[in-house]
Amino acid sequence: MTGQIPSVSWFWDWVPAADSDATGWPESVAALVDGWTGATVGAAMAGDLLAHAAGLAPNRRLMWGAGFLGEWVRWLPLVAIVEFRQPMPGDSAYLMGAVGAEGFEDDVREPDVEYLSTAHGDAIRVLALTRSGDGSVHGRVDAALRLERPAGDLDVLLTTRADDLGRLAVIGDGMDALLTMIADQSPELRLITAGTDVP
């Protein structure tokens, strides 16, 4: 009998912004991660995430996540930067360039481009191999979503990097899950974009 292939699933959550109340957040992350891994590593990871988030511009937020193979946590931590922008009126084409849909200068091969429809707008996700300044090669995943909201449209750009091929092979689906999650949360999001509070 052929064994069933384990399913891949994703967990994503926001890291508190530098100016927000993070009371209790490190402890909740530590409990989750230690429960998944069976090791006492969650507190240190939560501290690193808060430090990373504190260095971001006001219109950027940090997401952290994990990828599961069946019930086993396989990819941890996943980290993505989410940037919020006021859209250019009537023109979403610039987002193609922002995510490198036709490639960036340091890409070593033509990128793979996928499109995604969400409940609150369409998205594009680009995956490519790219070269670092030291000559090493890693994977980049850049995505963009124009959120359609009653309060006004909002452009969302996401970026993450993958240093190993195993993670790169699946992270595209993980980013799709993150795009869908942000779109589903869009009516409740209150975020800073280009220095302007967006309700």
The CA distances from residue 35 to 16, 23, 29, 38, in Å, are 21, 20, 10, 5
Positions of the chain with pLDDT lower than 70, given as ranges: 1-3, 89-90, 189-199
Q: What is the pLDDT of residue 196?
A: 40
Q: What is the pLDDT of residue 112?
A: 95
Q: What is the pLDDT of residue 168?
A: 86
Alpha-carbon gap, residue 169 to 127, rounded angstroms: 10
Q: What is the pLDDT of residue 1?
A: 45
CB 33 within 8 A of CB 25: no
For residue 150, whether the previous peptide bond is cis, meaning omega lies within 30 degrees of 0, is: no
Q: What is the pLDDT of residue 155?
A: 92
The CA distances from residue 16 to 50, 74, 103, 107, 176, in Å, are 7, 24, 32, 32, 22
Q: What is the pLDDT of residue 192?
A: 52
Give the β-pairing of 154-162 and 137-147: antiparallel
What is the model's pTM?
0.89
Q: What is the pLDDT of residue 134?
A: 85
In the numeric block, the tokens 């996943």 are attached to 78
Superfamily of domain 8-198: Mog1/PsbP, alpha/beta/alpha sandwich (3.40.1000.10)
Q: What is the pLDDT of residue 121?
A: 92
Q: What is the pLDDT of residue 198?
A: 38
Q: Is 168 helix (H, G, I), strand (E, B) or coil?
A: helix
Q: Which of 79, 96, 84 is nearest to 159 (CA)?
A: 79
Q: What is the pLDDT of residue 152?
A: 81
